Amino acid sequence: MVIVMKKGAKDSDIQAVVAHIHKNGNEADVSSGPNRTVIGVIGDTLKFELSEFLMDPMVDKAYRITVPYKLASRSYKRDDTVVMVGNVPVGNGSFTVIAGPCAIESRDQMMAAAIAVKKSGANILRGGAFKPRTSPYSFQGMGVEGLKLLKEAGELTGLPVVSELMSTADYDVVAEHVDLIQIGARNMQNFSLLKCVGRGDKPVLLKRGMSATLEELLVAAEYIMAEGNRNVILCERGIRTFEKYMRNTLDLNVVTAIKEMSHLPILIDPSHASGRRNMVIPMARASAAIKADGVMVEVHANPDEALCDGGQSLYPEHFEELMQSVRVVHEAVRDL
């Protein structure tokens, strides 16, 4: 349920509504903007009749949100959410580029990739320390030592950093080293993990599961937000279809749909969507053209020797081409 206060409502008016919500054992989420204050009722809203709130002279509207993703819904928050990752805003109309190696393999490899993506204009540095792999015999990442190298590379370049969290047991050590915590596609419905990052204070990059609907993605975001962490960035990384030419099928429809359904920013991961290096740049351009909030791509100084996903990783010179082209596309469509 959402209660919209009238313009000019005083703090005492807002607190009176909040007190009524608390009286019935529910929680109140207050969101104040320049023109209005919105109060979300968290919990069993069937305890309330809309008329209870509409009788208040300072209440403009009261309505129920029927979708299961209440806090993530555009009905709850009309204005786009801007998530700060370090000093980088995501969702403010700019085109954010996250880049770096799929997996951290060594200090030299991580630093080379970090310097290259920084030089070309990346906004956030990525690197996998804990790697969920299809095969148990594949490289699983360097763990904590990898996190230390990622943090060092971020400090060297001045870029905020992101890495994936796979277990609630690792939350503290991952949060200590990164500015943005990634929840991977395989863990999108790991509800214990979602609740864990929801109780933390680090922004979260939530990837869509390979077989997940948009509603399931937004309900996963709701798990995080319901625990108190509202700084969630969504990421489309391709879904599994019957097509075998690409690793996955990139669902670009998601961007338009999510922007209608939710206020959360959404990025595109063309590297995992295609699994093919030659498709990453065209799909990144397409992401800019449909007004995604940015992309996340894999860059390796020597992809042919990469221990993970070398076939979809860009050479530094390819990444430079990507940056130049997405800037052009973003500028062309920004004001449309």
CATH number at residue 57: 3.30.70.1140
With respect to residue 233, please indicate whether it lies within any of the assigned structural domains.
Answer: yes
200: how many CB neighbours lie within 10 A of its CB?
19
Tell whether 58 and 137 lie within a shared domain. no
Distance CA 61, CA 10 (A): 16
> What pLDDT score was predicted for residue 310?
87
What is the rounded distance in angstroms from the CA atom of residue 155 to the CA atom of residue 158?
A: 5
Residues sharing a CB contact under 8 Å with residue 79, sequence separation 6 or more, in sequence order: 33, 263
Spatial CB neighbours of 146, under 8 Å, sequence gap ≥ 6:
103, 104, 110, 127, 128, 129, 130, 163
What backbone phi and psi angles, to 5 degrees, belong to 131?
-115, 115
The boundaries of the domain holding residue 46 are: 2-63
Whether 54 and 118 map to the same domain: the answer is: no
Does residue 264 lie in a domain region? yes
Strand partners, 38: 4, 31
Please tell me the predicted confidence (pLDDT) of residue 305: 86
115 Ramachandran zone, left/alpha/beta (phi>0; psi -120 to 50):
alpha
Tally DSSP H helices, then E strands, for the chain.
Answer: 11, 14
Distance, in Å, from the CA atom of 262 to the CA atom of 69, rounded to the nearest integer, reads 9
Can you give the CATH number for the domain in which 317 is found?
Answer: 3.20.20.70
The verdict on 223 and 291 lying in the same domain is yes
Q: Is residue 68 part of a domain?
A: no
Beta bridge partners of 145: none
Specify whether 52 is located in the same domain as 89: no
Task: Give the residue among 312, 316, 265, 286 at the shortest CA–CA distance from 121.
Answer: 316
271, part of any domain: yes
Domain presence at residue 92:
yes
DSSP for residue 184: -
Residue at 73 is within a domain: no
HSE of 21, CA atoms in CB hemisphere, 13 A:
24
Digitized pLDDT (tens) for each residue of the chain, 336 residues in all: 999 999 999 999 999 999 999 998 899 989 887 778 999 998 888 889 999 999 999 999 999 998 999 999 999 998 999 999 999 999 999 999 999 999 999 999 999 999 999 999 999 999 999 866 566 656 666 889 999 999 999 999 999 999 999 999 999 999 999 999 999 999 999 999 999 999 999 999 999 999 999 999 999 999 999 999 999 999 999 999 999 999 999 999 999 999 999 999 999 999 999 999 999 999 999 999 999 999 999 999 999 888 888 889 999 999 999 999 999 999 999 888
Write b or e for each residue in 175-184: b if 16 or more Cβ atoms lie within 10 A of its Cβ, otherwise e.
Answer: bebbbbbbbb
Question: Are 206 and 289 found together in one domain?
Answer: yes
In a domain, 262, yes or no: yes
Q: How many domains does the chain have?
A: 2
Q: Does any domain span residue 15?
A: yes
